Amino acid sequence: EVDIGESIGILEPVPFPYALSLGYNEPFNITVTVYYPNGTPVVDQTVSAYLVKDGSIYANLTLLMVKPGIYTTTYALLPPLPQGTYILEISSQYGEAYTYIYFGDMIFGGIITPVYDYLPSASPGNNITIFAEVLTPQFTGVFTSQVFASLISPKGKPIVNITLKPAPDIVLFGVFNLFFTYYGNLTVPNDVKPGFYNVIVYSETNSSLGVITGKFVTSLYISNYSLNVTVKVNPIAYEGQWLKIYANITYPNGTEVTEGSFTATIMPASLESEALVLGLEIGIPLQYNSTLNEWVGEFQVPSELQGSIYQGNTISWLSGPWAIFISGSAKSGQILFSNATYFYVEPYTYLGSKVNLNQNARSLPPLIAKVNKTTYVISNVYIGNLTVKGVTLELLNSRIGSITAIDSKVIIKDNEIGGSYIGIVSINSTLTILNSIISNVIYAFDQINSNITLINVNFKNVSEMSKVPPPTVTINVTNITIPEAVIQFTIFGEGLRIINVLMNGKPVHYFLTSGTENEIIIDIPFNASILPDGVYAFVFEISNGGLVYNETKDVINTYHQILSNEQVSVLKNEVSLLNASVSLERSEVISYKSAFYISSALAVIAIIIGVLGVIFIIRKR
């Protein structure tokens, strides 16, 4: 500001809202300072004050000098002069100054639009909420005023009129407690044209000095349609992990929106109703990528270690479904407020895609506790690939993509491992895995010269147990038919070690015939004459590079059955011989009888013939 001539400064009144408003019959001082350019106070000069409203002068006042350079007077607005805003003009012989004075209800108001950003805006059919706090200069009217609101077109004509009602003492829209205010919802008509529209709030309050009125004006932009959006984000995330958000924003005709201002608001799904306000606090600005034809933003999921307004919350509170809202407006004013797009935050803190632990580690990521020089404890984290060398590690309640243990001792308890080519690589290490899941891997293990113990471990979507082929067992005989036999088993594999051998669930003694890392031959005596017939299951508990397998081979004892069959056969032969002997004797008896009968018959015939001969001779004589 540059003054040419006398310099006039207005000390009183201080205009609303920097001070209280003025009411009817309420005297107030008008005090100014008047100085020459060289700083000398002006004395004994005529200084006037004018109250101007809508181009008309409602008061013409003369200020009196109370001391050199200071002039003052007192005034009160009386009915039926209109209330509202007046221009206060101070004029001297060589200078002028201006301010404004407000008479009437003090109204503190605003509007809540679908997009709550630097440019309040809405589209036809959208609802907007209008709220206003009304106070008289005497601080009455909180619950006793009549309050109205109008949507005014760019040509100054009212389009929609509504009555505002006292707001209840509850949280509205999930965010705002508008108690002590008046509020109402206004629906933007479908036939309005794009442009800037005013929202005017009017009030009337009865007081001892008469009816006090007030007026509050704000604005919004109304576009002719809303924008469309498709949001892409990884469906699974971890606390502390950086996520990229991709939003493809288009006009209704499918044309890409390349200019405007858009924000991604990310929050727990339980706070969806607060999206309007949270967008102002934690909204992520999106930048248009012309190569992708998408608006892109980066967001770090809150964790115990960091998280803006969420920092300090527990892992369990931060985990669960989260929602993303895209809001903003295009260059030409079209607005966007998307529906929620969801992703799930797992209850683990993200420590990175790779973490290495060894005896010489000097700096450690957070949440990794160092018990002593070579012992570590990790819990409640996500690590893409964890490599440990020459240390002792206890890994608790975490999710790990893959683990590589070298010359280490690792206890893995209540973990989820997977999502990689090989779940666990163990080299010269001892691993104990309890109550854990290995999933979504091609190979669960790749082990060399290790000792791996599995207790209540579940495998899901695992193609092969190990990259090292499982051991195989061959047998020289499967059916025992002799009184005593030696069964020979040959075991093939890599880094072989026999832990135990059972026969029908009981330990059995065996002899090692020969053995290498890749082949072991053992002999097991089998006394078939003592053992009953039946199937004998030989179970071999074998460590194959550190991973334990149970291989079963069945042997059938049929010695007693064979022996019985042989004895029956001998008896059958003896019976056959006896039967043959009896048959021969029977034949001989029959032959003797036949000869006797024939001889007797011949004798009889001979006698008959003899008798006949004698008779014949006698007759002849």
567 found inside a domain: no
1 found inside a domain: no
Contact 483/525 with Cβ under 8 angstroms? no
Separation CA 453–CA 410 (nearest Å):
11
Q: Domain of 541: which CATH number? A: 2.60.40.10
Burial class of residue 39 (count of CB atoms within 10 Å of its CB; 0-12, 13-18, 19+): exposed
Q: What is the pLDDT of residues 355-413, one digit of tens each?
A: 999 888 777 888 898 888 889 999 999 999 999 999 999 999 999 999 999 999 999 99
Q: Which of 504, 532, 557 is the last residue of a domain?
A: 557
Contacts of 363 (CB under 8 A, 6+ apart): none
Question: What are 14's strand-pairing partners?
Answer: none
- Tell me: do 375 and 319 sit in the same domain: no
> First and final CA of the chain: distance in angstroms?
206
586 pLDDT higher than 90: no
420 found inside a domain: yes
- Tell me: do 98 and 110 sit in the same domain: no
Domain count, the chain: 6
Nearest Cα to Cα of residue 97 among 6, 9, 2, 5: 9
329 pLDDT higher than 70: yes
Q: Which helix (H) or strand (E) holds 480?
A: strand 479-480
- Tell me: do 285 and 263 sit in the same domain: yes
- What is the span of the domain harbouring residue 32? 7-103
Contact 258/244 with Cβ under 8 angstroms? no
Q: What integer pLDDT is reported at residue 588 of this predicted model?
A: 59
Q: Which of 295, 318, 346 is the last residue of a domain?
A: 346
- Tell me: do 430 and 378 sit in the same domain: yes
pLDDT category of residue 620 using cuts at 50, 70 and 90: very low
Q: What is the pLDDT of residues 547-581, one digit of tens each?
A: 999 999 999 999 999 988 777 666 666 656 666 66
Q: Which of 103, 125, 158 is the last residue of a domain?
A: 103
State the residue for tokens 């984000």: 233
Nearest Cα to Cα of residue 160 among 76, 220, 226: 220
Residue 216: Cβ within 10 Å count = 21
For the question of whether the overall pTM of this predicted structure is more than 0.75, the answer is no
Alpha-helical regions (H) of 242-321 = 275-282, 315-318
354 found inside a domain: no
Separation CA 103–CA 73 (nearest Å):
18
Separation CA 356–CA 372 (nearest Å):
17
Q: What is the pLDDT of residues 127-174, one digit of tens each?
A: 899 999 999 988 888 889 999 999 999 999 999 999 999 988 877 765
